[in-house]
Amino acid sequence: MAALRRTPPALVAGKYAAIAAYVAFALFPLYWLLKIALTPDALIFSDGTALWPSELTLDNFRTVIFQSDFMAYFRNSVIVSLSTAAATTLIAAAAGYAFSRFAFRGKRWVVALMLLTQMFPLLMIIAPIYKLVAAIGLLNSLTSLIVVYTAFNIPFATFLMQSFFDGIPRDLEEAAMIDGCTRLQALRVVILPLTLPGLGATLGFVFTAAWSELLFALMLINSNDAMTFPVGLLTFVSKFSVDWGQMMAAGVLALVPSCLFFLFIQRYLVQGLTSGAVKG
């Protein structure tokens, strides 16, 4: 729009001011987190609301990494999130492929079932899940978290994978199958390379979802050894709520994997949604 007509300079200035305000709003909380994490403990109170710390230190990070349990929590979270992401992507890819390539009896019911799981409040099943997991003796184990998270993420991941498969022309694998490939060979040789970006995106989405899940992890885990990062951080906060610098350093560490994923995904975000919107 702006390119089409001559814009009055006051409006341009207003626009840039609005953009700056949005950027400041989005970044300020994260900046503050980083600022307190880098401020030496002795200066936290005297610095007060100063926007820039008068002295920088990495002590808080050092303490968190070498002298606390946070690295164990971090490791637990990485194990849970990676396993969940891998298992979900594999299972959802198979299901998404079935949705994309077959017209079969009962398909509408299966789709409806998957949509249903997205509608009801997940907290409804927190008590039954606790009892079931306790009954098979898997409380305080990462396995139970992995299984639960995998199931939670399958419906969304399936629809995501289906949309990626829908984007690959059917003719490609049919041609391969006419040339004598079995379906599995056609999948491996023709479809897999084309769908790698889709698999990557699904892995990333599920990883971040599993990384941030808190309430089920709180319910199912209470031994220190098996705590994931969110549970560990929350327990730390409620026990030692004065080590501000260390808590925020731990927070900054928790942010790292999500930010990496975000950098990877953000350029596809608007593009992908746009092409989807045009199609619909």
Partner 1 sequence: MSATHAEHAPGMPRARLARAWLRYAVEPYLYLSPALLLICFVMLIPLAIGISYAFQSINLLRPFDAGFVGLENFETLVGDGRFWTAMSNTFWWTFGSVTLQFGLGLGLALLLSTQFHGKRLVQALVFLPWAVPTFLIALTWSWLFNPVIGPLPHWAAALGLLSEPYNILGDPDTALWGPILANVWYGVPFFAITLLAALQSIPSELYEAAEIDGASRWQCFTKITLPFLGPMIAITVMLRAIWIANFADLIYVMTGGGPANSTQILATYVFTTAFRKLDFGYASAIAVALLGVLMVYAVILLVVREKLVRV
Task: Answer for the pair 93, 161: CB distance below 8 angstroms, yes or no.
Answer: yes
Does residue 168 interact with partner 1 by CB under 8 A? no
Q: Considering Cα of 32, then 33, then 39, then 41, what sign does the dihedral take?
A: positive
Q: Kindly tell me which of 95 and 226 has the beta carbon lying closer to partner 1.
A: 95
Helix (H, G, I), strand (E, B) or coil at 228: coil
Torsion, Cα of 133, 135, 222, 124 (10° steps): 50
User: Binder to partner 1 among 6, 10, 46, 102 (CB under 8 A)?
Assistant: 102
Q: Kindly tell me which of 194 and 219 has the beta carbon lying closer to partner 1.
A: 219
- Shortest reach from residue 171's CB to partner 1, in Å: 17
User: Binder to partner 1 among 202, 233, 246, 249 (CB under 8 A)?
Assistant: 233
User: Binder to partner 1 among 32, 75, 169, 192 (CB under 8 A)?
Assistant: 32
Report which of 204, 215, 222 is spatially closest to residue 153, judged by C-alpha positions. Answer: 204
- Shortest reach from residue 155's CB to partner 1, in Å: 7
Find tokens 């390379």 and name the residue: 193
Does residue 240 interact with partner 1 by CB under 8 A? no
Ramachandran area for residue 140 (φ above 0: left; ψ -120 to 50: alpha; else beta)? left
Does residue 120 interact with partner 1 by CB under 8 A? yes
Per CB under 8 A, contacts with partner 1 among 36-75 are 36, 44-45, 48-49
Binding part of the chain for partner 1, among 12-20, 55-63, 135-143, 163-171 by CB under 8 A, reads 12-20
Count of chain residues binding partner 1 (CB under 8 A): 92
Does residue 121 interact with partner 1 by CB under 8 A? yes
Tell me the C-alpha distance between 148 and 253, whole Å: 25
Kind and range of the H or E run holding 204:
helix 192-212
User: Binder to partner 1 among 43, 78, 199, 219 (CB under 8 A)?
Assistant: 219
Task: Answer for the pair 170, 101: CB distance below 8 angstroms, yes or no.
Answer: yes
Report which of 207, 216, 210 is spatially closest to residue 122, judged by C-alpha positions. Answer: 216
- Shortest reach from residue 35's CB to partner 1, in Å: 10
- Shortest reach from residue 164's CB to partner 1, in Å: 15
User: Binder to partner 1 among 10, 112, 119, 135 (CB under 8 A)?
Assistant: 119
Per CB under 8 A, contacts with partner 1 among 126-155 are 126-132, 147-148, 150-152, 154-155
Tell me the C-alpha distance between 276 and 101, whole Å: 19
Q: How far does CA 243 lie from the centroid of its chain?
A: 28
- Shortest reach from residue 178's CB to partner 1, in Å: 9
